[in-house]
């Protein structure tokens, strides 16, 4: 770790020198003041070179350089990653689908928003988009580093594909959702390079505080000279500049941006892309986590596993109607019903969407709001399938009856954690009849309970939100070990729940994958979209998890907390340090002018010049010494906030006070060996 850091440090040195350009430094006012001071002492040393003035000048420049080095090292890691990503962004040829069904070859960079492209086994997907036709396995290792192929299919919550990844099997049609130059990989590159990094509100607030402190010290140090003159002494301008630099909060001023970059970088190492630094900070303060059920807590392959007929209906009849209602249903659930009806129930392959459509049938597509799908045939007969309350509502509204034995089957399937889809059909001109239930099965991902226990220990409440019915929701919630759940949630409900939590002053994180999760992901303070999810979800959130692991939020929260703690700890250390420096060097500096100060000069430094120079050297070296801590972060333990605060005040506050006394004394012993000091 240390040796690799030293190597990165060397590699970052040219970048650190480049950052000496003052145009770069306006972002960091504390360091800019040091820069101006260094320029001033450089000028003075040229006019009147002494060992003291030249040494101080050298170490002042070193201070600016070390501050730049911290940032350059933090950025260096991302640069390497960006290089790797650039290599995957190779020139591709796209097969654009034209309106008449023919294809033309165009360059990948010429694709426009909304274009349809065909991608087949062995070909690279030319841009980001949603699969609108077909199913394929895709190798996404170029962006996720994970070699196992993933399934991408039209219709469901796993339809998004990323440009630069490779189709391994089959053929898909993709609708392009990104403009050239604004693809996911482009954004990833900008992100890891830190090109798009903006100061977060917390950083801005801290910067204002540091700038204010700096201004106060500039005024205070300017007032020293008249006092000295009045007392019959005179301090050189070099001494005043050195004093100023020692007193202003250079340590945190130098490390602030590196701490932020390193936090983002730690997320990238865990395959999470944070689109804003603000989200990373918010993650450190999150108190409620909302998770979507299907695909997030469960694997999300809700598949038909049984047909249960009710009210004396024949199972073959149920199967035939379930099949009919799903022919045009492009969701994975719909497709699995068709498959199951054909393979397990022997429903004839005969019917297909095209013939049905030509015969004048109207399809009713699934929506998260109606929670139903189905078809109205030309002869006036109708079939619906969907969530029990939705289909029963439709049946009753149309004057139909609900068989008495339905309830027990719906409850049974739900209690097992399955999703019941009720099927109802109406003959031409007649009221609907409920025919039975389709049992959709899904499996809870392993290890969920332990992860939720961990979140609880961090003080985070987990709430599962699902469009599914309350019984299924409860069964899955119990199995997964979440604290609470909200069932039969529409996209609006999800958003309302987030608003309600936020009104209580709580920060809310949400993970989701579906288009129906997008509004909620946008509303949440931390919205983590699964990479497997839809483009809409990825656009709406402020983070994307390339591994699509909802429990990744634990890492995200830990990294966010670590970022906040690290910044707090180093700020404490920096300011404690400056206060201590004041008491360590001022007596030594002024002892010539005010002999009375000899009584409080506990340090007994060898001379006023040596004291001043030692303080400047110490001030510069502290920055370098703390770069590893700023990059690695203060170790995070799941402790309560108040205990953490007490611990940090003790370690970094006390440490910050003691360090200068020890450090400056040691440096003074060496510096006093220099001739002329």
Can you give the binding site for ligand ATP, defined by CB under 6 A? 292-295, 329, 331, 333-334, 366, 368, 371-373, 385-387, 419, 421, 466-468, 489, 514, 516
What is d(CA 323, CA 328) in angstroms, rounded to the nearest whole number?
10
461 is in an annotated binding site: no
Is 41 one of the annotated binding-site residues?
no
Dihedral of CA atoms 16, 21, 23, 24 in degrees, nearest 10, equals 0
CA 91 to centroid of chain Cα atoms: 29
319, 321, 325, 330: CA torsion to nearest 10: 20
- Say what the alpha-carbon torsion angle 311, 316, 321, 326 is, to the nearest 10 degrees: 130
Distance separating alpha carbons of residues 285 and 30, to the nearest angstrom: 28
Closest CA to 173 of 213, 223, 127, 207: 127
- What is the contact mask toward Mg ion in residues 522 to 561, using x (rule: CB under 5 A)? ----------------------------------------
- Which of ligand ATP, Mg ion, K ion, none interacts with 75 (beta carbon under 5 to 8 A by kind)? none
Quick one: 123 or 373, whose CB is closer to ligand ATP? Answer: 373
Q: 525 labelled as ligand-binding? A: no
Residue closer to Mg ion, measured from CB, 236 or 294: 294
Which among ligand ATP, Mg ion, K ion, none contacts residue 340 (Cβ within 5 to 8 A by kind)? none
Handedness of CA 387, 389, 390, 394 (dihedral sign): positive
Of the pair 249, 491, the CB lying nearest Mg ion is at: 491
369 assigned binding-site residue? yes
Q: Is 329 annotated as a binding-site member?
A: yes
CA distances, 506 to each of 460, 526, 560, 640 (Å): 11, 12, 16, 16
283-312: which residues touch Mg ion (CB under 5 A)? 292, 294
DSSP string, 148-177: S-EEEESSSTT-EE-TT-EEEESEEEEEE-
178 touches 113 (CB < 8 A): yes
Q: Is 170 a catalytic residue?
A: no
CA distance 367 to 383: 16
If one counts every other C-beta atom within 10 angstroms of the C-beta of residue 607, the result is 17
Counted residue by residue, the chain has a size of 677
Q: What share of the chain is helix, strand, coil (3-state, %, to 5)?
A: 55, 15, 30
What interhelical angle do 51-88 and 29-47 show, nearest 10?
140
Nearest to 468 by CA among 636, 616, 297, 611: 297
Can you read off the two tokens belonging to residue 602? 């506990």
284 vs 300, beta carbon nearer ligand ATP? 300
Task: Rank residues 245 and 497 by Cβ distance to Mg ion and give the closer one.
Answer: 497
530 labelled ligand-binding: no
- With CB atoms as reference, the residue minimizing the distance to K ion is 250
- Residue 250 interaction partner, one of ligand ATP, Mg ion, K ion, none, beta carbon < 5-8 Å per kind: K ion
Q: Which residues contact 55 (CB under 8 A, 6 or more apart)?
A: 613, 674, 677
Q: What is the number of other CB atoms lying within 10 angstroms of the CB of residue 299?
A: 13
Q: Is 606 annotated as a binding residue?
A: no
Tokens coding 668: 């003074």
Cβ 620 to K ion, closest distance in Å? 9
> Which 190-229 residues touch Mg ion, going by CB under 5 A?
none
Give least dist CB 626 to ligand ATP, A: 45
Selected binder of Mg ion within 514, 527, 587, 660 (CB under 5 A)? 514
Compute the least distance from the CB of residue 363 to ligand ATP, in Å. Answer: 11
Q: Distance (Å, rounded) from C-alpha 455 to C-alpha 264?
A: 21
CB 403 → ligand ATP: shortest distance, Å?
A: 19
Task: State yes or no: residue 433 binds Mg ion (CB under 5 A).
Answer: no
Known binding residue 569? Answer is no
Answer yes or no: is 574 a known binding residue.
Answer: no
| Smallest separation, CB 367 to Mg ion (Å) | 12
Contacts 24+ apart (CB under 8 A), 349-356: 351/323, 351/324, 351/327, 352/327, 353/327, 353/328, 356/327, 356/328
Smallest separation (angstroms) from ligand ATP to the CB of 501? 17
Three state DSSP letters for 463-527: EEECCCCHHHHHHHHHHHCCCEEECCCCHHHHHHHHHHHHHCCCEEEEEECCHHHHHHHHHCCEE
Rank residues 424 and 591 by Cβ distance to ligand ATP and give the closer one: 424
State in angstroms the smallest separation of the CB of 288 from ligand ATP.
17
Q: How far is the CB of 637 from Mg ion (least distance, A)?
A: 34
Query: Smaller CB distance to ligand ATP: residue 419 or 566?
Result: 419
Please report how many Cα atoms fall inside a 13 Å half-sphere around the Cα of residue 542, on the Cβ side: 20
- Binders of Mg ion: how many residues, by CB under 5 A? 3
Q: Is 182 annotated as contributing to ligand binding?
A: no
The nearer residue to ligand ATP, 384 or 561, going by C-beta atoms, is 384
CB 464 within 8 A of CB 293: yes
Choosing among Mg ion, ligand ATP, K ion, none, which partner's interface includes residue 371 (Cβ < 5 to 8 Å by kind)? Answer: ligand ATP
DSSP string, 405-453: THHHHHHHHHHTT-EEEEEEEE-TTSPPEEEEEEEEE--BPTTHHHHHH
Q: Binding residue per annotation — 552?
A: no
- Position with the least CB separation from Mg ion: 514
Would the annotation count 19 as a binding residue? no
- Minimum CB separation of residue 482 from ligand ATP in Å reads 12
Cβ proximity of 648 and 568 under 8 Å: yes
| Catalytic residue selected from 128, 292, 442, 555 | 292
- Closer to Mg ion by CB, 295 or 663: give it: 295
- Residue with Cβ nearer Mg ion (450 or 492): 492
Query: Strand, coil or helix: what is 273?
Result: strand
Minimum distance of ligand ATP from residue 306's CB (angstroms): 15
> 3-state DSSP call for residue 298?
strand
Q: Which parts of this chain interact with K ion (CB under 5 A)?
A: 250, 578, 619
Q: Which of ligand ATP, Mg ion, K ion, none does residue 331 bind to, with CB < 5 to 8 Å depending on kind?
A: ligand ATP
366 is in an annotated binding site: yes
Positions marked catalytic: 292
Q: Which residues are annotated as a binding site?
A: 329, 333, 366-373, 385, 513, 517
Q: Which residues are annotated as a binding site for ATP?
A: 329, 333, 366-373, 385
Q: Which residues are annotated as a binding site for Mg(2+)?
A: 513, 517
Q: Which residues form the interface with Mg ion (CB under 5 A)?
A: 292, 294, 514
């Amino acid at each position: 770790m240390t040796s690799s850091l030293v190597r990165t440090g060397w590699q970052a040195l040219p970048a650190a020198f480049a950052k000496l350009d003052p145009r770069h430094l306006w972002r960091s006012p504390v360091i800019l003041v040091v820069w101006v001071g260094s320029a001033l002492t450089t000028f003075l040393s040229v006019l009147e070179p002494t060992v003291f003035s030249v040494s101080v000048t050298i170490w002042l420049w070193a201070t600016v350089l070390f501050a730049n080095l911290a940032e350059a090292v933090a950025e260096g890691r991302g640069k390497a990653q960006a290089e790797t990503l650039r290599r995957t962004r190779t020139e591709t040829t796209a097969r654009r689908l034209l309106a008449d069904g023919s294809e033309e070859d165009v360059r990948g960079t010429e694709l426009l928003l909304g274009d349809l492209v065909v991608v087949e086994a062995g070909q690279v997907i030319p841009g980001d988009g949603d699969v609108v036709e077909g199913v394929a396995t895709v190798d996404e290792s170029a962006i996720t580093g994970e070699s196992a192929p993933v399934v991408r299919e039209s219709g469901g919550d796993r339809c998004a594909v990323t440009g630069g990844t490779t189709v391994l099997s089959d053929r898909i049609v993709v609708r392009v959702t990104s403009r050239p130059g604004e693809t996911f990989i482009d954004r990833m590159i900008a992100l890891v390079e830190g090109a798009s990094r903006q100061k977060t509100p917390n950083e801005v607030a801290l910067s204002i505080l540091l700038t204010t402190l700096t201004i106060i010290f500039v005024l205070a140090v300017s007032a020293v000279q008249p006092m000295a003159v009045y007392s019959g002494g005179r301090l050189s301008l070099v001494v005043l500049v050195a004093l100023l630099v020692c007193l202003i909060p250079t340590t945190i001023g130098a490390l602030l941006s590196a701490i932020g970059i390193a936090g983002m970088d730690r997320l990238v190492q865990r395959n999470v892309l944070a689109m804003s630094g603000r989200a990373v900070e918010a993650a450190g303060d999150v108190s409620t986590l909302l998770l979507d059920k299907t695909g997030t807590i469960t694997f999300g392959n809700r598949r038909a596993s049984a047909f249960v007929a009710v009210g004396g209906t024949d199972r073959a009849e149920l199967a035939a109607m379930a099949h009919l209602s799903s022919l045009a249903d492009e969701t994975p659930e719909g497709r699995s019903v068709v498959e199951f009806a054909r393979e397990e129930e022997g429903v004839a392959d005969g019917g297909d969407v095209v013939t049905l459509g030509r015969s004048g049938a109207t399809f009713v597509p699934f929506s998260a709001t109606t929670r139903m799908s189905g078809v109205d045939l030309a002869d006036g007969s109708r079939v619906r399938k969907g969530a029990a309350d939705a289909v029963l509502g439709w049946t009753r509204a149309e004057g139909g009856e609900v068989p008495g034995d339905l309830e027990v089957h719906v409850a049974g399937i739900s209690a097992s954690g399955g999703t019941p889809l009720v099927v109802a059909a109406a003959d031409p001109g007649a009221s609907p009849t409920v025919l039975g239930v389709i049992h959709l099965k899904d499996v809870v991902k392993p290890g969920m309970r332990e992860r939720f226990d961990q979140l609880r220990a961090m003080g985070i409440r987990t709430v599962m939100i699902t469009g599914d019915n309350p019984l299924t929701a409860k069964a899955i919630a119990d199995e997964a070990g979440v604290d609470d759940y909200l069932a039969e949630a529409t996209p609006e409900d999800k958003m309302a729940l987030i608003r309600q939590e936020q009104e209580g002053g709580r920060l809310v994180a949400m993970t989701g994958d579906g288009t129906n999760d997008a509004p909620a992901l946008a509303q949440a303070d931390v919205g983590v979209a699964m990479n497997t999810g839809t483009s809409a979800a990825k656009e709406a959130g402020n983070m994307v998890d390339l591994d699509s692991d909802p429990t990744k939020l634990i890492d995200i929260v830990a990294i966010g907390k670590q970022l906040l703690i690290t910044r707090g700890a180093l700020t404490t250390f920096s300011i404690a340090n400056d206060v201590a420096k004041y008491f360590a060097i001022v007596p030594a500096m002024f002892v010539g002018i005010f002999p009375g100060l000899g009584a409080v000069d506990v340090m007994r430094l060898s001379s006023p010049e040596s004291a001043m120079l030692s303080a400047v050297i110490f001030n510069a070296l502290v920055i370098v010494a703390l770069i590893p801590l700023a990059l690695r972060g203060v170790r995070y333990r799941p402790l309560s906030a108040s205990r953490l605060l007490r611990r940090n005040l003790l370690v970094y506050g006390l440490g910050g006070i003691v360090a200068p006394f020890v450090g400056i004394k040691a440096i003074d012993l060496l510096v006093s060996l220099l001739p002329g000091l």
